[in-house]
Amino acid sequence: MSKSLGNTVVPQDVIKTSGADIFRLWVMTTDYWEDQRLGKNILQTNVDLYRKLRNAIRWMLGTLAHDTGEEVPYCAMPDLEKFILHRLYELNQLINQSYDAFDFKKIMRALLDFSIIELSAFYFDIRKDSLYCDAPSSKKRKASLQVVREIFERMVTWLAPMLPFTMEEAWLERYPESCSVHLEQFRFAPEEWKNEALAERWKKVRQVRKVVTGALELERAEKRIGSSLEAAPVVFISNPVLLEALDNLDMAEICITSALTIVQDIPPSNAFILDDVEGIGVCSNKALGAKCARSWRYTQDVGSDPAYPDVSARDAAALRELQELDENCKGSKLEELK
């Protein structure tokens, strides 16, 4: 980029279209002790990263609109929530050390990877079903809301020094009565959240999920399914260590399918495999049953509740609980008016 060649970027033009925080993001993702490069392609890359980060925060804000603030004890949380809390513990250590060392690029890279890879493409993707469809009394749903709250408060305060306008906007949307995110302290991460053994287990679980996802993508490409919820894959696992890691986990939920069967055996010759994940093969089958109009999962119990003929038993129970809560709420308001 050279002024004499006329190929410079005018900051005001970028600010008008994308906002000042795009420039801050560019600075935070560069090795600023070296010569800097800036152009349309580099700016567009940062715009794309910013949008992904902003979309993750917007999703959390929408989800937390239903948060009642209830707390689930750590010991009663599902393993997936404990794994995400472990990742928050690790990030807390890294970010505190990196801020002390003024290594902003390391912080931004870690938070972008966490947001895009581990939250949007993994944790949020898995828990959408529970958050959207489980009954309000569901312990899993309550635990997930609590973890999303922990993620939001940490991510926004961690990013506030680097993306001040965006994080101030997000914070005041969530806590309109507060003064400013820039007056908040970084949140503490309890030692209880640290769990290396659990992290190692979920590393294996994600290997299995990676192979299943690859098989489902092939099915979609071949037009045999439209959504992963139309599938009921059979997963062959010959590695006993991987098999043990899946114990007591709902792999259909984790892989976002309507059903999933695990078989301890060598994958057959027609199974889908990935070269970098040994001992796992997937044979794809279509899910049986009818499609639930609420969760879009295919189950055998759709219509089992006559009051809700187009949804599964789980969703019918959730709808009945929501109806009862709504009626109780209306009754309370009538009592107040008397």
pLDDT of residue 6: 55
Pair (34, 133) in one structural domain: yes
pLDDT class of 333 with cuts at 50, 70, 90: low
On the question of pLDDT at 56 being above 70, the answer is: yes
Whether residue 38 is found in the same domain as residue 111: yes
Which amino acid is present at 70? Answer: E
Quote the pLDDT of residue 330: 66
Last residue of a domain, one of 254, 269, 288: 288
* Rounded Cα distance, 63 and 169, in Å: 17
pLDDT at position 237 over 70: yes
Question: Model confidence over 257-309: pLDDT tens digits?
Answer: 999 999 999 999 999 999 999 899 999 999 999 999 999 999 999 999 999 99
Confidence at 320, pLDDT banded by 50, 70, 90: very high
Tell whether 140 and 172 lie within a shared domain. Answer: yes
In this prediction, residues 14-19 reach a mean pLDDT of: 76
* Distance (Å, whole) CA 206 – CA 214: 12
Q: Do 83 and 164 fall within a single domain?
A: yes
End-to-end CA distance of the chain: 72
- Domain boundary residue among 194, 218, 247? 194
In terms of domains, do 142 and 212 share one?
no
Residue 293 resides in a domain: no
Is the domain of 22 the same as that of 42? yes
Domain-embedded: residue 277: yes
Looking at the structure, do residues 16 and 152 belong to the same domain, yes or no?
yes
* Residues 304 and 248 placed together within one structural domain of the fold: no
Residues 281 and 306 in one domain: no
Query: Does residue 334 have a pLDDT over 60?
Result: no
Task: Report yes or no on 306 lying in a domain.
Answer: yes
pLDDT tens per residue, range 149-200? 999 999 999 999 999 999 999 999 999 999 999 999 999 999 999 999 999 9
Is residue 53, in this structure, part of any structural domain at all? yes
The pTM of the full predicted model, rounded to 2 decimals, is 0.92
Quick: pLDDT tens for 22-55.
888 988 888 877 777 777 788 888 889 999 999 9
- Are 135 and 40 contained in the same domain? yes
Where do runs of H (alpha helix) occur along the chain? 11-18, 20-28, 40-64, 79-100, 104-113, 124-133, 139-159, 164-174, 196-221, 240-245, 251-255, 313-337
- The count of domains in the chain is 3
Question: Residue 335's pLDDT is what?
Answer: 57
Residue 163 inside a domain? The answer is: yes
Range of the structural domain that residue 203 is part of: 197-288
Which of 176, 194, 212 is the last residue in one of the domains?
194
Average pLDDT of the chain?
92
Calculate what percentage of the chain has a pLDDT beyond 90.
Answer: 80
The CATH number assigned to the domain holding 203 equals 3.30.2320.20
Together in a domain, 88 and 207: no
Q: 228 in a domain, yes or no? A: yes
pLDDT interval class at 326 (50, 70, 90): confident
pLDDT of residue 37: 75
- DSSP letter string over 73-96? -GGGS-HHHHHHHHHHHHHHHHHH
Whether 58 is covered by a domain: the verdict is yes
Rounded Cα gap, residues 154 and 146, in angstroms: 13
